[in-house]
Structure 1
Amino acid sequence: MSDATLPILFTSAGRRVELTRCFRVAAEKLGLTIDVHACDMDPRLSAACNDADHSFAVPRCDAPEYIDVLYEYCREHSIRILVPTIDPELMPLAQARKRFADIGTWLHVSGPDTIAIVRDKAKTAEILGRAGVPVPKTASAEVARGAPDEWSWPVFMKPSGGSASRGIGLIEDPSQIARHYPEPMIVQEFLQGDEFTINIYVDANGELVAAIPHKRLSVRAGEVEKGCTVSRPDICEIAEKLVAALPDPTGVMCFQLVDDHQRGPRVFEINARFGGGYPLADHAGGRFAESLLARVTGKPECASDDWRADVLMTRYDAAIFSG
């Protein structure tokens, strides 16, 4: 491997072929070559693993040995950047940042205090609301069931620590709220309007550098299938308040909001990682992947707020063959 080659690892790689290819293009712009490593529970069944230069199997990200397996791989292969792609692995990685830094691996993950907020939707609404970020009315399922007259029905129910649209649903009246759930559940006022994802870049000093909203025109399995970048100064102002409310954010994140017909924009979720719709922000000129590579290699960060509105993304299924 040449000195100009930078090994980068994408964890829980799954279908994230577009993301790894964004990094390959970004590296070329910086005069670098990246050696793409990817892992998943069964690499044979992961498109991104099959498209990578190297791949390997890992246990579930909630297994006690998960971080140790990643650590040993990073040490053995001199991985410079580790990029997580799903929410459940963020906290274990955030807590291990120093351990990995000691072997020269930079983890693209915000600090534990920020992850603790964004992984708890009730806490997200509380912290953001106190900071002046518009959020939907939110309460635990128990509180909503005990005070039904304080709510306009129907309401939206979801796991407080859920991700990837798991366990969400519309509750028509309080009688549908069970007395016990296997995990903490919250209810939020039912929002109706256009839904947006905002990809943001926070530099090494914790400052918001860029916010790129796109309208979600079509969604499949919780991920944008068709989207279009839009110029919305009001949404970018929300992004500034959101970043200021978080204690230790860094790198690429995204958040979702609904522009409710009556209430206006309301933020309902933050993902402290690359979102599935990041390639749209990248194509529009955001340069987030390029900026992360620059940060790690000692070059000036180059994430740009000079991006193009009205860039349309439409996705299709493609096959990657192996064997």
Structure 2
Amino acid sequence: MDLTVLISSAGRRVGLIECFRHAARRAGLSPTVLACDQNPAMSAACWAADQCFPVPACTHPEFSDAMLEIVRAFGVRLVVPTIDPELAPLAVAAERFAQVGARVHVSPPPVIEVVRDKLRTVEVLGAAGVPVPVTIALDQLGPCRRSLTWPMFLKPAGGSASRGIRIIHDPDELPANPEEPMVLQELLRGPEYTVNMFIDQRGHMCSAIAHRRLQVRAGEVEKGRTERNPLFYDLATLVARALPEARGVMCFQAILDERLGPRVFEVNARFGGGYPLAHHAGAEYARWLLEEVAGLPARPHDDWRDGVLMLRYDAAFFEG
């Protein structure tokens, strides 16, 4: 069976394209992998795809229409977003894609509204029993600033890829007029983990695979190792319970703080940058997603390999 996938905001995600090709073959499918980006000629993943296309920025009002045009023209069955800012417009447009036979791998808008706001994320997770760090909106800090335990972590409320984050050692260091909403978060100290999780179409959390982030570059894991610990499965179960409408692949960040224990501080409702490690370790979420889209029997499981090490390196495409 032929099946066409469109990777959006493809950027450097050559590894994700390779995962989808491998997953399709394992599912008995014949894949065509398309990619799009603002500037495909400068995207390594677009070079790795079977075909690529330019699209406006995901903040542009014509972004979804441009994506929909590609879907119609090439019979795309699955659209895979890869960055946080495109989740909201694609979630709003998901029904339009469904009408032409394509599933957008995105949770409904209420889920995206929560995970794209770091303050709401900790509020919703905390209410469901997920251990979270103390988090305060900068513009709500008021007189309590002196009673907080400093240093604290300052980050954009809607940021991603480690953009704009820094440690604040004293309240006098706080910006007076930030350009965007900011939050202050309890500074956690300890090993950091990403937990990838798969939620099937019935809303059942089927698998959770954790890797320790041994080294990070621009917010994305560069060196990591899978670790099997029941704690992470339990945390994933709580996260899924906190976001009952979530579907498909998600990941969350957690730190095992040396004083406080585990704290979950961020949720990404998409394939994370470190997903290829999970895939190689046997948590083939791309395959299960393709099987769902193709109407094939999907058999999600939690039987993945512990101790799998990923060491990323730079490779290149050349022109001329």
TM-score range, shorter chain: over 0.9
User: Contact 2:198–2:250 at 8 Å: present in 1 too?
Assistant: yes
**What is the deviation of 1:107?**
0.3
User: Contact 1:197–1:257 at 8 Å: present in 2 too?
Assistant: yes
User: Contact 1:27–1:33 at 8 Å: present in 2 too?
Assistant: yes
Counterpart of 1:241 in structure 2 is 238
**2:208 is equivalent to residue 211 of structure 1:** yes
**2:11 is equivalent to residue 20 of structure 1:** no
Give the secondary-structure state (helix, strand or coil) at the position aligned to 2:141: helix
Q: Distance in 2 between matches of 1:50 and 1:146?
A: 53
Where in structure 2 are the equivalents of 1:1-323 lying within 5 Å?
Answer: 4-323=1-320
**What is the deviation of 1:143?**
2.9
- What letter matches 1:163 in structure 2? S
Q: Distance in 1 between matches of 2:291 and 2:97?
A: 19
173-182 or 39-48, larger mean C-alpha shift: 173-182
Q: Deviations over 1:134-153 (max 9, x none)?
A: 00000011333531233110
Q: Distance in 2 between matches of 1:20 and 1:214?
A: 21
Give the secondary-structure state (helix, strand or coil) at the position aligned to 2:191: strand
- What letter matches 2:135 in structure 1? T
Q: Distance in 1 between matches of 2:149 and 2:232?
A: 26
Q: Distance in 1 between matches of 2:56 and 2:124?
A: 33
User: Contact 1:11–1:84 at 8 Å: present in 2 too?
Assistant: yes
**What is the deviation of 1:76?**
1.1
Q: Distance in 2 between matches of 1:18 and 1:224?
A: 13
User: Contact 1:113–1:247 at 8 Å: present in 2 too?
Assistant: no
CA RMSD of superposed structures (Å): 0.9
Q: Distance in 1 between matches of 2:213 and 2:83?
A: 20
User: Contact 1:142–1:179 at 8 Å: present in 2 too?
Assistant: no
Q: Distance in 1 between matches of 2:176 and 2:143?
A: 10
User: Contact 1:203–1:301 at 8 Å: present in 2 too?
Assistant: no
User: Contact 1:122–1:140 at 8 Å: present in 2 too?
Assistant: yes
Note the residue ranges of structure 2 that are not aligned, 5 or more in a row: none
Give the secondary-structure state (helix, strand or coil) at the position aligned to 1:147: helix
Residue 299 and residue 154 in structure 1: after superposition, are their counterparts in 2 closer, same or farther (change >3 A)? same
User: Contact 1:197–1:216 at 8 Å: present in 2 too?
Assistant: yes
**What is the deviation of 1:73?**
1.1
Q: Which consecutive segments of 4 or more residues in structure 1 shift more than 6 A?
A: none
Q: Distance in 1 between matches of 2:240 and 2:114?
A: 12
TM-score normalised per structure 2: 0.98
User: Contact 2:251–2:272 at 8 Å: present in 1 too?
Assistant: yes
Q: Distance in 2 between matches of 1:129 and 1:151?
A: 19
User: Contact 2:84–2:116 at 8 Å: present in 1 too?
Assistant: yes
Give the secondary-structure state (helix, strand or coil) at the position aligned to 1:178: coil
Note the residue ranges of structure 1 that are not aligned, 5 or more in a row: none
User: Contact 1:145–1:174 at 8 Å: present in 2 too?
Assistant: no
User: Contact 1:79–1:105 at 8 Å: present in 2 too?
Assistant: yes
User: Contact 1:156–1:190 at 8 Å: present in 2 too?
Assistant: yes
32-41 or 135-144, larger mean C-alpha shift: 135-144
Q: Distance in 2 between matches of 1:101 and 1:220?
A: 36
Q: Distance in 2 between matches of 1:67 and 1:18?
A: 25
**What is the deviation of 1:224?**
0.3
